[in-house]
Structure 1
Amino acid sequence: MSREPLRLGVELDAAGRHPAAWRLPGARPAELFTAAHWRRLGALVERADLDLLVVPDSFRLGSSDERDQRGRLDAVAIAAHLAPLTRRVGLVPVVTTTHTEPFHTNKAVATLDFTSLGRAGWQVEVSTTAEEADTFGRTGTAPPAELWREAADTVEVVRRLWDSWEDDAVVRDVASGRFVDRDKLHYVDFEGERFSVRGPSITPRSPQGQPLVVVPVRDEHSLAVAAAHADVARIEAGDERTAAQTADRLRTLAGRELTVLLDVEVLLRQTATEALDVAGRLDELSPGAAPRSVRHLGTPATLAAALAELPDGLDGAVLAPVDLPATLELVVSGVVPALTRPPVAGSTLRERFGLPRPTSRYARIGGVR
């Protein structure tokens, strides 16, 4: 069953999600850490008028396989670089909560919302490995349930900090020399299991008020966080039917409407045989790189048909190209034109997803003195 409109995003991970993708012809491995590489990818996504451009991030160098030691750039910095070069697409960097202070996340994403004129989002993620903890000089790592509880607290704090300035807190009164009305800045006074934050933020309320929050759903712990806090949920599942069932559970638990997207790993070529051959070559170069969600190996026509037939409960997909830029180029030239996606009204990311701009929860409460 087709979706009206079908929501469509893309996750861009340097040379692609497969760890061996940089070894394919056309991958331009010498350019992966350059601004020009990201500008080319951003221009393709903008041309297709996709809803989301997600930039993944992690504190891991790679897996234990030395062939997967690739390194990466900072996701927020990449999104900020693309902000003035794009006009429509939502820019959603991943920011992990496990080793990042909520205050820094609040400031970084709010700043991105300013530089993108209201097109910023934030994808929540946790760090689960001892390797990542060692990077920060910490011993061991907490179990997933605790990490996702911390993530939930972080989202709550960040949302409060985004609200800690009222919309009209900046007065810019030249005559009196008063730039900010401190009665319209508010303490958030959060006390949680792992941290406490008083606030307020040092960043004024951004164009959207509340940038879009995206939460991946891959287990019961992340499902609970998505139900409580997500504007958009990304479901990782082995098949579409399982994903639709998870979407139903998510909405029931949330007790509200939210956008639910299926993660689809994609590798496209002009023929299905060629796509299968490339996938086989990648797995030979780096064995054991199992799909994290549904994987589609085929042509632009077969992917467009699969997206048009997503089950009820799934509002669209986030495509994760297995290789770049070849697959993304075919998504833009062949998949998007084959889909029914009417123009989306509004200039901000919240408007694009049909979400109103909320007022600050602290409005009409006495401010900071």
Structure 2
Amino acid sequence: MVSAELHLGVAIDGAGFHPAAWRVSAAEPAALFTSGHYLRYAKLAEAASLDFVTLDDSLALQSGGEGVVRGRLDALLTLSAIAPATSRIGLVPTVTTTHTEPFHVSTSVATLDYASRGRAGVLAVPSPTDAEAAHFGRRPAPSPQDGEAETAEVLDVITRLWDSWEDDAIVRDAATGRFIDREKLHYVDFEGRFFSVKGPSITPRPPQGHPVTAVYGDSPHAVGADLVITRADHLDAVRAAAARFPGAKVLATVSIVLAETEQGARDRQHELDALVPFEPAGLSFVGTPAQLAADLPRWAAETGVAGFHLRPAVLPDDLDLLAGEVVPALRAAGAFRDAYRGETLREHLGLGRAVNAYAVTPGA
């Protein structure tokens, strides 16, 4: 038995992380542009009691030409659409920060938190290319350093806006006609390098207080996020990333190709790479579910990460094996919970409810 339970999230992007996945997946290509496609995989992850699913997004089309899936749904809107049909799984869309106002990010993610009854997160990423900037025509693409610094500022602003309504700001006193207590709404009066935001938000404080904020671990400004996902490709680098962010839950990305035998997994990997040669970011695993269930706790112990962000090569194939065989093996080893113990994503991740920065403590 192991001493610590892992946190596990899973990517449900398209037909799988491998760019050739759509050519071997049982999923119909047209289904990739329906919310039902993503609901299917979110419910599968929920049945396995995984902490959360992620859905990637970008302001640019996928690279690789006509041999890869091109086009995508808006991740935040898609997860908002499936939120009422799920009950426990955390929902973490990628949201680009470079050409999106933090006020809009704040209200949109807060709305997802309401739609999911407290299961929202946001994976904040910059938009660094000239092609993305050209969609808007308002300014050139930022440098990598400026893009990351702006993302950090966005995370600061959106948490302030979530706090701009105190939890009990809504009074709904029908007798007096008083719906809110105006004294419990606050201006954020933020002045930063990239933004000037007055507030308050137009959306009441989200059910979690703060939805979970996440960044990738290669960001130099990741300090302050609740969740850091490192895409380091060897254990020493993962260990270094985990040490950099002692105040956050750090998860390591692992791309997975599974089969009932090692040779079967290698054959699947060769088939995919023959169609489209590809080197995924992060750690890679090719093998059996039992081997993956043995490796994950060992890697966590060696690196100090709290868990893993798993990227199935092909959907539904690798997610089916993950949910049906890897998770039960982890449970048998004491490395993963038997069932959800809370209702919100912050509870799944062992994060306390965020304290409101503007609320006045009684008696203070």
Normalised by the length of structure 1, the TM-score is 0.92
Is the 1:90–1:349 contact (alpha carbons within 8 Å) kept by the matching residues of 2?
yes
Contact map agreement 2:230 2:238 (CA 8 A) in 1:
yes
1:190 equivalent to 2:190? Answer yes
Which residue of 2 is the match for residue 281 of structure 1?
A: 271
Matches within 5 A, 1:307-318: 307-310=296-299, 311-318=302-309
Structure 2 counterpart SS, 1:309: helix
Q: Does 1:245 align with 2:236?
A: no
CA distance in 1, matches of 2:2, 2:213: 25
Taking a change above 3 Å as real, the CA distance of residues 66 and 139 of structure 1, as seen in their structure-2 partners, is: farther
Per-residue deviation at 1:142? 1.4
Aligned-pair RMSD on alpha carbons?
1.7
Aligned-partner residue type, residue 263 of structure 1: T
Paired residue for 2:346? 350
**What's the % identity of the aligned pairs?**
48
Q: 1:209 to 1:312 in 2, by over 3 A?
A: same
Instruction: Determine which of 324, 336, 356 is the counterpart of 2:315.
Output: 324
Aligned positions of 1:174-189 closer than 5 A: 174-189=174-189
For 2:258 and 2:298, the matched residues in 1 are separated by: 18
CA contact (8 A) 1:166 1:184 kept: yes
For the 8 Å contact 1:303–1:335, the answer to whether it is kept is yes
Higher mean alpha-carbon deviation, 148-157 vs 344-353, is at 344-353
Q: Give the corresponding residue for 1:143.
A: 143
The answer to which of 258-267 and 154-163 deviates more is 258-267
- Does 1:67 find its partner at 2:34? no
- Residue 101 of structure 1: CA displacement? 0.8
1:267 maps to 257
Which 5+ residue runs of structure 2 have no aligned equivalent? none
Describe how 1:214-233 pairs up with structure 2 within 5 A: 214-218=214-218, 222=219, 224-227=220-223, 229-233=224-228
Aligned pair 1:44/2:33, yes or no?
no
- Match for residue 254 of structure 1? none
Deviations 1:139-177 (A, max 9, x none): 541111100110011000000000000111111111121
Which residue identity is paired with 1:243?
A: V
- Distance in 1 between the 2:79 and 2:35 partners? 11
Deviating beyond 6 angstroms after TM superposition, the runs of 4 or more aligned structure 1 residues are none
Check conservation: 1:2, 1:309, Cα contact below 8 A. Answer: no
1:5 aligns with 2:1: no
Q: Which residue of 1 is the match for residue 358 of structure 2?
A: 362
Which residue pairs with 1:303 in the alignment? 292
For these two proteins, the number of residue pairs brought into alignment is: 354
CA 1:152–1:25: 2 relative to 1, 3 Å: closer
Q: Is the 8 A contact 2:290 2:329 kept in 1?
A: yes
Distance apart, 1:40 and its partner CA: 1.2
Cα–Cα, structure 1 residues 3 and 156, in superposed 2: closer, same or farther, change >3 Å? farther
| Contact 1:3 1:315 survives alignment (8 Å) | no
Change beyond 3 A, Cα 1:192–1:231: same
Given that 2:25 and 2:316 are in contact with CA atoms closer than 8 Å, whether structure 1 keeps it comes out as no
2:281 is aligned to 292
Quote the residue 2:23 is aligned against.
23
> How big is the shift at 1:25?
4.3
Provide, for residues 112-139 of structure 1, a one-character-per-residue CA deviation record: whole Å limited to 9, x for no partner: 1111111111111111111111122245
Further displaced range: 25-34 or 318-327? 25-34
Q: 1:3 to 1:9 in 2, by over 3 A?
A: farther
Q: 1:20 Cα shift?
A: 1.5
Higher mean displacement: 181-190 or 266-275 = 266-275
The answer to whether the 8 Å contact 2:98/2:151 transfers is yes
Q: Cα–Cα, structure 1 residues 14 and 313, in superposed 2: closer, same or farther, change >3 Å?
A: same
- Local SS of the residue matching 1:225: coil
Amino acid at match of 1:293: G
Q: Provide the residue aligned with 1:111 in structure 2.
A: 111
Q: Which segment is superposed worse, 22-31 or 87-96?
A: 22-31
Q: Which moved more, 1:3-12 or 1:329-338?
A: 3-12
CA distance in 2, matches of 1:155, 1:29: 35
CA distance in 2, matches of 1:145, 1:195: 16
